[in-house]
Amino acid sequence: MATDRPRADELRQGLTVELVQDDEDPHAEDTEPLTGEIAVVYGGDPDGPHVKLKSGVVGHVQSVVADETPPGT
């Protein structure tokens, strides 16, 4: 997980992110982030921006997943 979390104003619907679900400790070393597309951005939080994914999972963003689409595709 990245240590530089994005700010809420840097996120938008459809962006793919890694997040930690609300019911898990974002500071625990054994916490595995989930990856998914943002549906709703709720706002900032010390544990990372609070968002809801298109899958319905709600949690705190840990990092943005790099776009893996090759240029010109």
- What average pLDDT does this structure show over 44-64? 93
φ, ψ at 27 (rounded to 5°): -100, -10
pLDDT tens-digit profile of 1-26? 445 789 999 999 999 999 999 888 77
pTM of the prediction? 0.79
Spatial contact of 21 and 34, defined as CB atoms under 8 Å apart: yes
Residues 40, 69: Cα–Cα separation, whole Å: 23
CA dist 5 and 54 (Å) reads 20
